[in-house]
Amino acid sequence: MERHEHAVWHALPPDAAAQRLNSPPTGLSAAEAAARLERHGSNRLAPPRRASAWVRFLRQFDNILIYVLIGSAIVTALLGHPVDTAVILGVVLINAVVGFVQEGKAEAALDAIRDMLSLKAVVIRDGHRQEIEAEALVPGDRVLLASGDKVPADLRLLELRNLRVQEAALTGESEPVDKAVAPVDADAPLGDRTGMAYSGTLVTYGQGQGLVVATGQATELGRISTLLEQVGSLSTPLLEQIGRFGHWLTGVILAVAALTGLVGWLRGYHWADMFMAAVGLAVAAIPEGLPAVMTITFAIGVQRMARRNAIVRRLPAVETLGSVTVICSDKTGTLTQNAMTVQSVALADALIAVDGAGYAPDGGFRIGEAALAPHDAPGLTALARAAALCNDAALRHRDGEWLPEGDPTEVALLTLARKAGLPAAQPDWPRLDGIPFESEHRYMATLHATPDGGAVVFVKGAPERLLAMCSHEAGRDGAAPLERARWERHIAELAARGQRVLAVAEKRLPTPPGVLAADTATSGLTLLGLLGIMDPPRPEAIDAVRHCIEAGIRVKMITGDHAATARAIADRLGMGGDGRVLTGAEIEVLSDAELERVVANTDVYARASPEHKLRLVSALQTQGEVVAMTGDGVNDAPALKRADVGVAMGAKGTEAAKEASEVVLADDNFVTIARAVQEGRTIYDNLKKAIVFSLPTNGAQGCVIVAAILFGVALPITPVQVLWVNMVVAVTLALTLAFEPPEADIMRRPPRGRGEALLSGFLAWRVALVSVVQTVGSLGLFLWETAQGGTPEAARTLAVNALVVGQILYLFSSRYIVAPACTVEGFLGNRIALLGVGTLAALQLGFTYLPWMHTLLGTASLPAEDWLLVLGVGLLTFAVVELEKAALRVRLRRERSVGEEDPSEPI
């Protein structure tokens, strides 16, 4: 039996690894492979556990306010009030359906995590090369790799030729990694294990043979998947606020309802009547429309975000973005282009900056701030030609996109040649022979015929290696002796910018030799120049980081790339912090308490593993930060899930990252995050306005019922009428506040605190004031109609319409917390609000005059003159609120005149 459970494969020599797994050079036999497959299981990841449709539907009822309503429905059914029961359950059901449908749409937009393993694998079994399903791979199999293959399992490399593997999805490193068979230190981080090829990564160049050492859940990919399952999800700040508010409100409502029922019973009312009155009071005071308004407000925000290229998978995430205090961002593909680009060219007599980013040949050249035309720098053209010809990659333009084929660094050289004005094909310089890149000799050479009948050898590779091979350097006046010290300074300068340095040289020959010998390519070369290559930051990301900082949000970069590269990108992005780069190795030795102190001031983290990212996010959350994590790789998935809101890249991101996130950016654009923060803050503002608008309806209805019991008169509003008012006002009026535009200063405010109350003291005062005014108006009309000899049905219809019209006029006041609403903009600035008012007016006319509504809701028709009384109550509400706002503005002006802070600006 193979022994491998505790092996550190990257630290073992190839022969030792094969011996430990009992894997002969001829490969496993079919019988042994079948036995190992039975023992280890299929080479695939376990599918994610998903809640069934029924469970997702039942989750919509998990709300304390909904529990109270369901309890009220049960009691009314036992007391023989089927209409009340049906209406209460209808409200609960509608709310659940809205939430369930929206959650289902979000899940459909991003399907379950796709298989990260390749479909096929080429193996050696029974001494023969054969292609099998990747799921059938077992430890001990010998897998053959070629350029373009996805690595099907974790492999210990045995043999290779120029093998490079793109591991960005797993490690976050932007450049393909040159592989070698030699063992490395047992403590080497994942990105430095050059003798390994990991499941889900991509071979970009060369060939190799590897020994399968782990399959399925035992792979690094599977380990991250397991880690992902162990990460618990967090509640969002708003849900925490709603939870606290709901428990507080429910407790107050039930206590008042019970006390009122007890007082009425002590005063001689029948217990059943008092119980129904208490139920009516509870139903009146509970804002049952609020969950629906919340859900629909979120859904509207989701649609707006979708138009801005952000797909929201879980509704509360929209609002959570608005309270984010820290954004932890992956570097590669998130803040950067994920496309290697030549940024600098060093010639013998000039250091040239290259504009543009990505593979599109857009951008020019500069020396300092002065533009440079390629034809004015012959050395630049010669260097670009050599880099393009000593090259095995391709860059094709199709359907408006530039599509790279081959090694990303070589594609970057083709883009440079296009920027320098060279054609895609150069038939006058045909390749005659070549020496491919080998990690041992660290260069690539090609032999070309020249247009004048001669030949030239172009060589590119590691600068230290080429400097040793060069005797001369190219200058304006021809070749000159090599000044090595100057080139070493250039190398140091480019490396300090976080750029990977590549040297390019040539050797002219009078006639083409038959073959290119190594001796010819490695001596007597003329150095053409140096190229500084990096994955540059997105231009728009620089602006987005600045906007986030202005909004009081810290941006921290957490990447698997090297420290120098991370620091250079952070500097160009304008990120703050203490200038320190904390590496994964340093994180390993820090305790949780020490890490919490470090993360407060350090903004750049390099060579970070999935566990490191998870620890960093957790450390920030322990300090009370609301953390958003952005990323695109499998290695980002655990931290994405742990964060308060995970943001994955949609175009270049892995399915694992998308599955773990709440928000997916369809355009992979960091600037969309800044827009999402603005959208989240706007949603919170509008939701708060909706709550402040809706609660007076409940407050007035509850007060009316309490007053009726205390004064010993009939209930002015029945429970079923209460539900009618709550739902129609919530759906037609409160919902229109979700369409309010953002406040002008919304991105200049600091993020709100996680413990901030949903209702400030000032807003609670506003709710109480409006509740009292509406109570006086509605109860007054009920008593007046009763005194005039009107029927209870007519008096209740009058009272309900007084409440509704009062809320209509209060809606316009609610659009501005402090500013006056008596303006054209105040009444006509929100067209959705006007549509809602018209819809509600039509519903109330039906409520008042339709016979079947009389039967269902206990209403009666009103004479035309009664509507003047109803309108008077509405205008009274509007006038009182506007006078209160005017008094508030006077107080604010006085405070500002003495330089005090504004303590009353609630939104």
Largest CA distance in the chain: 120
Q: How many Cβ atoms sit within 10 Å of the Cβ of residue 674?
A: 24
For 172, 611, 666, 841, the CA distances from 639, given in Å and listed in that order, are 13, 8, 20, 50
Beta-carbon count within 10 A of 98 CB = 18
Q: In angstroms, rounded to a whole number, what is the distance separating the alpha carbons of residues 666 and 650?
A: 5
Buried b (16+ CB within 10 A) or exposed e, 367-393: eeeeebebeebebbbbbbbbbbbbbbb
The Cα 452–Cα 754 span in angstroms is: 73
Which pair of tokens denotes residue 189? Answer: 């981080």
Tokens 């709710």 locate to: 767
- How far, in Å, CA of 602 to CA of 45, rounded? 36
- Tell me how far apart the alpha carbons of residues 726 and 719 are, in angstroms, rounded to a whole number: 11
Separation between Cα atoms, residue 601 and residue 245, nearest integer Å: 34
Asked if 304 and 607 count as a contact pair (C-beta separation under 8 A), the reply is no
| 8 A C-beta contact, residue 91 and residue 727 | yes
How far is Cα 459 from Cα 509, in angstroms, rounded to an integer?
A: 14
Strands 443-449 and 478-481: what pairing?
unpaired
187 is catalytic: no
Q: Tell me how far apart the alpha carbons of residues 288 and 307 are, in angstroms, rounded to a whole number.
A: 30
Among residues 234, 135, 118, 124, which one has the least CA distance to residue 641? 234
Instruction: With residue 694 as reference, give the H or E element that holds it.
Output: helix 671-711
Task: Choose among 799, 802, 829: nearest CA to 814.
Answer: 829
Residues, the chain, total?
A: 907
Which residue's structure tokens are 């260097």?
A: 383
Closest CA to 685 of 628, 645, 745, 726: 745
Place of tokens 């007084």: 802
End-to-end CA gap in the chain: 68
CA distances 536 to 395, 546, 846, Å, are 19, 17, 63
DSSP 8-state assignment for residue 313: S
Contact yes or no for 883/876 (Cβ under 8 A): no
Helices (H), 267-376: 271-285, 289-307, 316-321
Catalytic residue among 149, 330, 632, 636: 330
Enzyme catalytic residues = 330
